[in-house]
Structure 1
Amino acid sequence: MSGQVLEIIHIGQVIQAAVAPVFLITGIAALLGVASNRLMRVMDRARELENSLQDATDVAIKKVQSEELRFLWKRISLINKAFSLYTLTALLLCVVITTLFISHIYTIQLSLMISITFILALAVLILALLLSLREILLTTRSLKIRLKLRKLKIPED
């Protein structure tokens, strides 16, 4: 085979190697969308609760609302951290893809760097997923607080 044909075959293999990180980036983009939507909803609820807290006169209701607000701010913090880690994962995967092509173009051995960067990206992704899980569990706990609040409120006639 000619050198040009071998070169085309080799670049095809590089592109195949880049496919997995590209698919991961697509999945991470979806996770970023989910995190963004969750963040918006939690922030809206926090604003609503802050306004309600200012207007509340019942001490018991204020206490429960303050507790829920504290949970909401914890959730906001967790979502922000997860969002940052998802973004870092995507950036690391971009480095993996770029390094694959640089390795091919300049015919230098960068497989160790590529492997380490890919492993690091997956480790960061695991941390982001764990933070997301923690935020979801915190959501469940905050629902219990809202149930307490409903029991305290006096029904309107």
Structure 2
Amino acid sequence: MAFSPVLSTVAETIQVAIAPVFLLAGLGAILNVMVGRLARIVDRSRQLEALHLRAIGPERERHIHELRLIDGRIRTINNAVYLVVMAAIAICLVVAMLFVAELANLQIGQVIAVAFIVSMLLLTGGLICFLIEIHMSVRAIRVRSDLIHPTLP
């Protein structure tokens, strides 16, 4: 006779898996913010590229400087997105392992705990990268002094 899990066992496993599933929803929201930020950065880089082609002198140098900053921001936010997606994948594996362990009667609690710890480390890394990108963007926002204090003729 084939193994058939008891309904109460499946219900208990679902209850245990609820927290990681809510975490996945939160990771989706974080990713949405990060990808939206990445889209705005890319839009700004395209604007600057168009302006750069027509610029000369000090204006051209400002565009080059800002494009270099934007390039670093894009790399940093891409790393953040990558790490958070990896965290989400690790959480999915945790949920899957919870069910496999219950259905196959495996004693893999330590493996599941390690997978959860890895997901939290990946999430932490992604959030640190996101924080670095925010810091980079704040540093990059400088109002030119000639606009604030124009010289009088």
Structure 2 alignment gaps of length 5 or more = none
Q: Who is 1:42 aligned against?
A: 41
Whole-angstrom distance in 1 between the partners of 2:60 and 2:128: 32
Residue by residue over 1:41-89, the C-alpha shift from the partner in whole angstroms, topping out at 9 and shown as x without a partner, is 10010011011111001x2111111111111111111111111111101
Structure ranking higher in helix proportion: 1
How far is 1:118 from its partner?
0.2
Q: Who is 1:31 aligned against?
A: 30
8-17 or 92-101, which moves further after superposition?
8-17
- Partner SS for 2:105: coil
Residue by residue over 1:105-125, the C-alpha shift from the partner in whole angstroms, topping out at 9 and shown as x without a partner, is 000111011000000000000
Whole-angstrom distance in 2 between the partners of 1:92 and 1:148: 45
How far is 1:149 from its partner?
7.9
Q: 1:124 to 1:150 in 2, by over 3 A?
A: farther
| TM-score relative to the length of structure 1 | 0.87
Q: 1:97 to 1:150 in 2, by over 3 A?
A: farther
Cα root mean square deviation, aligned: 1.9
| TM-score relative to the length of structure 2 | 0.89
Number of residues of Structure 1 aligned to a counterpart in Structure 2 = 146
- % identical aligned pairs: 31
Q: Who is 1:14 aligned against?
A: 13
Structure 1 alignment gaps of length 5 or more = none
How far is 1:142 from its partner?
1.1
Amino acid at match of 1:21: P
Amino acid at match of 2:30: L
